[in-house]
Amino acid sequence: MDYARQQISMILSPHTLTPFKPGPATQCYTDHLTIGDLGVGAIHFGEAEVDVPTIADYHLLIACQAGSAHIEVNRRQFVLSESKALIIAPGSHMHARFSADCEQFFVRIPRVSLRAHAPTEHVEFAPEVDLDSPTLRPFLSHLELITSNVATVDLLKVNTMIKTEYERMLVYMLLAGQAHRFGEGDTAKVAPRSVRLAEAFIRANYDSALTLDEIAAAANVPARTLLASFQRFRSTSPMRYLRDVRLDEARQQLKGSSHLSIASIALKAGFNHFGRFAYAYAERFHEKPSDTLRANRQAAVD
């Protein structure tokens, strides 16, 4: 049980794991797959109580593939079954009791994934998840497809582009299938349609040589109007937003690639000047592109 706790803490958050009925050793296991910054996995450790003082900087979706669970999140009670799941928000306190036959399925959705693929990282999901909901079926079906097919899993481990596309698709499908709202103070809920159109156009075409006029045309407003709207609702400019999207994409590539060069990744992300890319990357992420790539390759060796 101690080993199980150590392994799960490496994937999720530090926690206490206490067998409900101390006795003979229970067979514990956990399987885990990363899809970009998303994490997907299964856990079984028998009848036990879990206490997580603070969920780290990610949303945690927990479902029961078998068995059941009683979970308290910030003093609110939930019962999980094979048809009812739960999404726990970052920063929450979780206390749970899992049945002896419970096999958990979890999805870890970091805020960095929401920032990279959604209009905002500040999302508040409705905590209760109906696994029989038709709107959520595409999300669940693609998770099942990914995790049940060995060839797909192997492909995700080596192909950064496919991994990123799957991550983006899963984020979009979860947002489309599960009720949510933008958090308080987040300007995405009040930004005009022109800003949201411009952001969508930029995310879809970040690797092209975009100009401000092209972005404004896609948003159906004059360039001056778009500049003013971005400054008011995003505290940035459309071109700065484009640069940040490109940097986020480059970081995804650097964190997932074991064979591409930094220059080729920069070009793929839409940067034509390597020196400017390196400077902007260090300014945004507080480390050099080579540091990110080196850490990824070292992790692959380990």
Q: Where are the domains of the chain?
A: 2-182, 191-301
Q: What is the pLDDT of residues 47-92, one digit of tens each?
A: 889 999 889 889 999 999 999 999 999 989 999 998 999 999 998 9
Q: Which one has a higher pLDDT value, 3 or 199?
A: 199
The average pLDDT across 184-190 equals: 49
104 token code pair: 């958990």
Angle at which helix 289-301 crosses helix 274-285, to 10 degrees, equals 70
CB 103 within 8 Å of CB 62: no
Tell me, what's the pLDDT at 23? 54
Tell me, what's the pLDDT at 295? 78
Q: What is the pLDDT of residues 202-242, one digit of tens each?
A: 999 999 999 999 999 999 989 988 998 888 777 789 999 99
Tell me, what's the pLDDT at 188? 47
Q: What does pTM read for this prediction?
A: 0.61
Percentage of the residues of the chain whose pLDDT score is greater than 90 = 38
Closest CA to 44 of 59, 24, 65: 65
**CA pair distance 153, 209, nearest whole angstrom:** 33
300 token code pair: 């692959």
Tell me, what's the pLDDT at 63? 95
pLDDT at 5 over 80: no
Tell me, what's the pLDDT at 17? 83
pLDDT at 24 over 60: no
Fold of 2-182: Jelly Rolls (2.60.120)
pLDDT at 121 over 80: no
Strand ranges for 5-100 from DSSP E:
16-19, 29-35, 38-44, 48-52, 58-66, 69-73, 76-80, 84-88, 94-98
pLDDT at 136 over 80: yes
Query: In the structure, what pLDDT confidence band is assigned to residue 95 with cuts at 50, 70 and 90?
Result: very high
Close Cβ partners of 243 (under 8 Å, ≥ 6 residues apart): 280
Cα-based distances in Å from 90 to 16, 53, 148: 18, 11, 28
Closest CA to 153 of 252, 251, 32, 64: 32
Q: Considering the chain, what is the average pLDDT of its residues?
A: 86
Amino acid at 20: F
CATH superfamily to which 191-301 belongs: Homeodomain-like (1.10.10.60)
